[in-house]
Amino acid sequence: MNSISETSSQAANPRVAWIVIAGVLLLLVGEGLWLWHQARSNSGLDQENGQLREALVRIKARTDELRTGEAHIKALYARLNDAIALRKGQSDDRLPLPRSANPNDPKADPPVIKAFRESGCEVTRSPNELGNLSVTYALGSSGIEFHRLVPLIAQQENSNTFLVIDNLTLERPESTAAFSKKPTALNARLVLRLLANP
């Protein structure tokens, strides 16, 4: 090495070069990190937008479904809701009148029970309630033949979709012979439940 080089190496501090290199590298790393963070945030936003788009499609589809099925839903709801029995002394949205306070008033019976009563069944309201949305009725008759009883039950089951029979017992009266050809009124006992408002 000649003397000028030696002197120059002594005069210029090489640490300056290292500081420059480190500074440039730091700057590049910083920029890289910023770009990475920005890309990640964009990707998150994109994903979020995708979810919002899906939610929007779902909400619109649901609204369209409701709009299209409005008449059908209302009609079906009205039909089924009519079948829900009101507890005795309970009126739609009015305070009970003093006249209708009698829980044994047959006028307050649901139509299904009225139909059984009109067909000659004895009806008693049973205190046994399963769940908090049931009214239970015990029915008894000894004057209805099988061929009248089955259509009667079918008619009531069709008219009230929430009519559930818990117990049904049919017995031939002992006074009637086993293979009698005469029309026979059966001893019938039914326990049925109706869906009721709480």
Partner 1 sequence: MKPLFVSQENIIKRAYRRDRWFRLAGGVVILGLFLQLGAAYQAIQLTIQGNSLASQSRILGSAIASANQARMKYAELEKKLAELQSWGPILTNRLPASAVLAAIEQAIPDGLVISRLSLKAVRQTPIKLSTGVFMLPRTYQLLVGGEREQGSDAGLIERFSRNLLAKMPSASRQLGQHVGAEATGRPGTFQLVLELPANGNYHSLGLSPVQQPENL
Within 10 A of 186 (CB to CB), how many other CB atoms are there?
Answer: 19
Closer residue to partner 1 in complex, CB, 115/133 = 133
- Classify 179 as helix, strand or coil: coil
- Cα separation, 72 vs 16, in Å, equals 83
Q: Candidates 21-29, 86-94, 100-108, 115-123 — which segment interacts with partner 1 by CB under 8 A? A: 21-29
- Identity of the residue, 28 or 101, whose beta carbon is nearer to partner 1 in the bound complex: 28
In the chain, what is the straight-line distance between the N-terminal and C-terminal CA atoms, in Å?
Answer: 105
Question: How many Cβ atoms sit within 10 Å of the Cβ of residue 174?
Answer: 7
CA distance 153 to 115: 10
- Smallest distance, partner 1 to C-beta of residue 124, A: 19
d(Cα 90, Cα 113) in Å, to the nearest integer? 16
- Rounded to the nearest whole angstrom, what is the least distance from the CB of residue 157 to partner 1 in the complex? 5
Contacts of partner 1 in 29-58 (CB under 8 A)? 31-32, 34-35, 38-39, 41-42, 45-46, 48-49, 52-53, 55-56
CB of 26 to partner 1, least distance (A): 10
Site string for partner 1, 88-117 (x = CB under 8 A): ------------------------------
Q: Which residue has the tokens 């910083």?
A: 30
Q: Which parts of 125-184 interact with partner 1 (CB under 8 A)?
A: 130-134, 146, 149-151, 153-154, 157, 161-172, 178-179
Name residue 196's beta-bridge partners: 85
Residue (14 or 98) nearer to partner 1, CB = 14
